[in-house]
Amino acid sequence: MNVYDSTSSLEIEQKKSLSIIKGRNKIKFKKMITIISFLLPALILYSIFMLYPMIDAVRFSFFDWDGAATSMNFVGIDNYVKLTDDKIFLKALGHNLLWVVLSLILMVIPTLILAVLISRVKKGKTFFRAGFYLPSVLSLAVVGVLWSKIYDPMMGPINVFLKSIGLENLAKNWLGEPYFVIPALVIASTWAFYGLYMILFLAGLQNVNSELYEAADLDGAGPIRKFWSITIPSLRNTLNVVISMVIINALKGFALIWIMTQGGPFYMSELVSTYVYKAAFSMNKVSYATAGSVVLGIIVIVFTIGFNYYRERSEN
């Protein structure tokens, strides 16, 4: 703000312009105060409970600290080096990836088909939309308790049913066998989360140009062809959003696993989040756990930014 920059020789003019600038500054200043007053509460809350902890997380991860001692030892990237050598952490990371893949398979296409079916209904669309969304309003604690009882090997309805129709061999200990535990957990989590994606697909389907279908009808295209060549391409944006949300949510999973298996048996369903929670809150390895959680955070954020970048580019 170079107010005195003016090289005008006429003093009066100078004064005049000065006062205008001053007035403008005043307005500008007032405007700034107003804007700040709108933003400040949010910024304060955000800084205290998100920004500052983010910085702290990175800071902790460079120290050796048990959460109780009054002094912290700086150890550099030691914690991260140890993580790369920690078999259980790497296993957990692998489980996270498996979780992502299974979620994508179970959630995206089945939910899309469901949404297409609902969108075809002429009367009672709202009823179905509301009904199918119902599981999503339950808390994960409820979902976890409910499904761990459903999977119960002895009195769970699945096994009771299988045994009653003579398929004893198919009755497994769903949360106890290495090949079933993660899929079983992903099914429970799909049940809890698919509603949101269904709503998104339904909204996207409303915007699909119905003329395209009519034209396809004239061409005599079957429903499957119409699905692949019209529905999916027109829903590209929605699909992008849904896929990215599925991936992010899959990486974030914690509550269901914690309630249903606590990462067990024998680390078979350990995810980064459960491993980190145990390390921090029951083994006192606070800084080590923080390093693990920072890795998870970085993966999610890099993915999100990368995905948005890709999306913006592909849309242009």
Partner 1 sequence: MESLVKRWKSSQFTLWVVLLLLLLLITAPIFYAMLASFKTNMEIFNSPFSLPKSWNFDNYINAWNLGNFKQYFLNSAFITVGGMIIVALVACPAGYAFAQLSFKGSNLLFYLILLGMSLPVQAIIIPIFFQLKTMGLVNTLTGVTLVSSGLALPFSIFLMRNTFKDIPKELRESAAIDGAGEWRTFWSVILPLAKPGVVALLIFTFMNIWNDFLLPLVLLINQEKFTISLGLYSFQGEQTTNFGLIFGGTVISMIPSIIIYIIFQRSFVEGMTGGANK
Partner 2 sequence: MRNYRRYFALALTLVMVLAMIVGCQSPTASSNEKEASKKDGSKSESAKSEKDKTLDLYIPNYFNDVEKQQWAKVVEKFKELNPGVNVNAANGDVQVESGKLPTLLQSGVEPPDAILMNAGPGRVSVLSDVKLIQPLNKLYEENNWKDQLRPFAYDLISGEENIYELPHMLDAIGLFYNKDIYEQNGIEVPTTKDEFLKALQKLKDAGVSPITVGARNGYAIGWLFGVMLESIAGTEKVEELIYGNGKWNDPEVVKVAEMMADWVKKGYITKESVTQTQADSKFRFLSKKAAMEAEGTYLITDIVDQKLQTSVNSFMMPSFIEGKTAKPVGGIGLTWVIPTKAKDVDLAAKWFNFIISKDYSDIVLNLPDYNFVPASKASVGMVPVGEVLKSSMKNIENGSGYNPSVFIGVEAKEAYYQNLQGLVGGLATPMDAMNNIEAAAEKDRAAGFKLNKK
Question: Which spans of this chain sit near partner 2 (rule: CB under 8 A)?
Answer: 40-41, 44-45, 47-48, 67-70, 151-154, 173-178, 261-262, 264-268, 278, 280-284
CA distance 155 to 229: 46
The least distance separating partner 2 from the CB of residue 42, rounded to whole angstroms, comes to: 9
- Contact between 259 and 145 under an 8 Å Cβ cutoff? The reply is yes
The yes or no reply on residue 297 touching partner 1 (CB under 8 A) is: yes
202 versus 230: smaller Cβ distance to partner 1: 202
- The DSSP call for residue 168 is G
The kind and range of the H/E element at 73 are strand 73-74
Strands (E), 118-256: none
Q: Which does 129 bind (CB under 5 to 8 A by kind): partner 2, partner 1, none?
A: partner 1
User: Hey, which residues between 156 and 215 contact partner 1 (CB under 8 A)?
Assistant: 157, 160-161, 191, 196, 199-200, 202-204
Pairing status of strand 63-64 against strand 73-74: antiparallel
Q: Is residue 267 near partner 1 by the rule CB under 8 A? A: no
Closer CB to partner 1, 101 or 145, in the complex: 145
User: Between residues 182 and 200, which has the closer beta carbon with respect to partner 1?
Assistant: 200
Q: Which does 110 bind (CB under 5 to 8 A by kind): partner 1, partner 2, none?
A: none
How many C-alpha atoms does 36 have within 13 Å on its Cβ side? 6
Q: Which of residues 225-244 bind partner 1 (CB under 8 A)?
A: 238, 241
Residue closer to partner 2 by CB (options 67, 124) is 67
Q: How far apart are CA 129 and CA 145, in angstroms?
A: 25
Indicate the residue among 10 and 35 with the shorter CB distance to partner 1. Answer: 35
The Cβ of residue 291 has, within 10 Å, a number of other Cβ atoms equal to 27
Q: Which is nearer to partner 2, 40 or 105 (CB)?
A: 40
In the chain the first and final C-alpha atoms are separated, in Å, by 38
Q: Which residues, numbered 45-84, are part of the site for partner 1 (CB under 8 A)?
A: 45-46, 48-50, 52-54, 56-57, 60, 67
Q: In whole angstroms, give the CA distance from residue 107 to residue 190.
A: 6
Q: Where are the alpha helices (DSSP H) in 63-170?
A: 78-84, 87-120, 125-133, 140-150, 157-164
Indicate whether 34 belongs to the interface with partner 1 (CB under 8 A).
yes
